[in-house]
Amino acid sequence: MMKASLLFILSFLVFSISVSTNSSFTSAAEAPEPVRDVAGKMLRTDRHYYILPAANVFDKFRGGGLTLSGIGKNTCPAAVFQETSEQKNGIPLAFLPVNPKKGVVRVSTDLNIKFAYPETCGQSPVWSIDNYVYPSGDSFVNIGGVVGNPGPKTLSSWFKIEKFGYQEYKLVYCPAVCSYCKVICKDVGIEFQNGKRRLHLTTDYPLRVVFKKA
């Protein structure tokens, strides 16, 4: 009787360890990989980074980091642009995932992008798409978005970071925070406007980027 009890206990322990190990492997496999900066370190939600264009031997005019600027005659800096000079890193940004896990920023995950900049022109420094309902037309990246509160009312404020090459990334508008909402997924690219580089949504040439700790 005692031998049978011992065998039962041992079998139970082996089964428990096996289930726990398999569960751990499954969880690890399901977690998207972390986004890494140019130093190879994981991006953290409590730090700020520059978004810089990745080096490309085919692009002689790749520009610098990202900044804010006015549109046309409107001098209020409410639209997101790329610096024309490679010497300028732009304004640092923070990345705020919809479900932050241990403070790590991961690929293929809905997140808000926020300038390390005070509210300007009555707009929050959070990125937002101005024409997300009908993105078949011109859709540009502005500020005035909302942090958190995932759902249909905040669709314009959610972006993703995706791998795009060996150590490079691209920014994507493809929110998954609303299961029943219809969205058209596009990459974030550059459109030239009066000699300036404005961020917009594209299906042709995404902006290839890397991240540098500020």
* Digit-coded pLDDT (tens) for 161-181: 999 988 899 999 999 999 999
Query: Half-sphere exposure of 4 toward its Cβ, with a 13 Å CA cutoff?
Result: 1
Q: Which domain holds residue 121?
A: 49-213
Domain assignment present for 152: yes
Q: 27 by DSSP, 3-state: which? A: helix
Task: Give 62-116 pLDDT, tens digit per residue.
Answer: 899 999 999 888 888 999 999 999 999 999 999 999 987 789 999 999 999 999 9
CATH number at residue 112: 2.80.10.50
pLDDT at 8: 41
Domain assignment present for 30: no
CA distance 20 to 38: 35
What is the pTM assigned to this prediction? 0.83
Domain assignment present for 191: yes
In sequence order, the β-bridge partners of residue 170 are 162, 208
pLDDT at 59: 56
Domain assignment present for 55: yes
* Mean of pLDDT values over 17-31: 50
Quote the mean pLDDT of the chain: 85
CA distance 53 to 66: 9
**Total number of domains in the chain:** 1
Identify the DSSP state of 101. B
Domain assignment present for 9: no
Question: Sorting pLDDT into bands at 50, 70 and 90, what band is 16?
Answer: very low
CA distance 116 to 211: 15
